[in-house]
Amino acid sequence: MTRPVLVAASFSPWSERARFALDHHRIDYVQEEYMPFLGEPLLRLRTRVFRGQLSVPVLFHDGRVIRDSVEIARHADRVGSGAPLFPSGAEAEIARYVEMATGLMEAGRAVSMPRMRQNPAVGRESLPPSLPAPLRAVLSPLVGMGTAYIARKYRVSEYPLDETRAKIRRTLEQLRTALRGRGTLLSDFTFADIAAAVALTVVRPVEHPVIPLGPAMRAAFTEPGLADEFGELLEWRDRLYAERRSARPRGNQASL
Ligand SMILES: N[C@@H](CCC(=O)N[C@@H](CS)C(=O)NCC(=O)O)C(=O)O
């Protein structure tokens, strides 16, 4: 097997759920950091997708181009060596939790984006840590353009904030009921747990070496009222990360 290349954004929960699955399967891949807006023309060339929406994560492997975090996790199940994340017979249940988690992340993007745009420190922090200092200085002012671009691309202004927060709360209540104090959503650890745990970033990001968010970015993602109200869900997520999320060293390089 050739070494897969994952183009991903270090701040993005969609990228993190793909990385979690690849690491679970102990797949040795190279990660290239993607910068919104600036990185899109090159990514379009590499994927040969010249129309329509293009987002990250994208996995390049053995001639395949996989443009979706859930599909990347399924690919990891096929080529990796860990226990299956999509065990047969559990597909429908996992799909239901993935849909719930994706809705949570979309709603979270809508409520966190205005906070990101208000705080200039977010821009500085969201540059890839691996970028050399001179390049950071040049690119710093362009990050705000990237944030504005994401806000337009995902129509963030069309989400009414109060309604969106209420939707987040309802989903968290469903998740709490589904977990019923257990360690995993289904009888075994599956991609449903990864999707739910990662989606809780939009309530408060986990503290873990694989999540290199700075303080401004962490504050932008955090919903203080919901973090207090759903503390036990965050504790579940923190335990899951401590027990299941490997932080193996790997090739990591900056890319536009
Ligand atoms: N279906 C995709 C959706 C990924 C997605 O929404 N990615 C956003 C996360 S903010 C992204 O790439 N944003 C940067 C951009 O669009 O330039 C998946 O699950 O991989």
- Assess whether 68 and 37 both reside in one domain: yes
- Assess whether 155 and 73 both reside in one domain: no
- Assess whether 75 and 95 both reside in one domain: no
- Assess whether 69 and 99 both reside in one domain: no
- Assess whether 112 and 166 both reside in one domain: yes
Domain of 191 in residue numbering reads as 91-244
Please list, in sequence order, all residues whose beta carbon lies within 8 angstroms of the beta carbon of residue 36, skipping any fewer than 6 positions away: 9, 146, 147, 149, 150
Share of the chain above pLDDT 90, in %: 79
Residue 175 is predicted with a pLDDT of 98
pLDDT tens-digit series, residues 154-169: 999 999 999 999 999 9
pLDDT at residue 249 above 70? Answer: no
pLDDT at residue 251 above 70? Answer: no
- Assess whether 13 and 57 both reside in one domain: yes
Q: Which atom of ligand 1 is nearest to the CA of 36?
A: 17
Q: Which atom of ligand 1 is nearest to the CA of 37?
A: 17
- Assess whether 157 and 210 both reside in one domain: yes
Q: Structurally, how many domains does the chain consist of?
A: 2
Among candidate residues 209, 202, 199, the one with its CA nearest the CA of residue 247: 209
- Assess whether 182 and 126 both reside in one domain: yes
**Which residue lies with its CA nearest to atom 11 of ligand 1?**
55
- Assess whether 149 and 203 both reside in one domain: yes
Residue 140's pLDDT band (boundaries 50, 70, 90)? confident
- Assess whether 123 and 191 both reside in one domain: yes
Length of the chain: 256
- Assess whether 37 and 116 both reside in one domain: no
Q: Which atom of ligand 1 is nearest to the CA of 68?
A: 20
- Say if residues 115 and 58 touch (Cβ distance below 8 Å): no
pLDDT tens-digit series, residues 2-59: 999 999 998 999 999 999 999 999 999 999 999 888 899 999 999 999 999 999 999 9
188 C-beta closer than 6 A to ligand 1: no
> Average model confidence (pLDDT) for the chain?
92
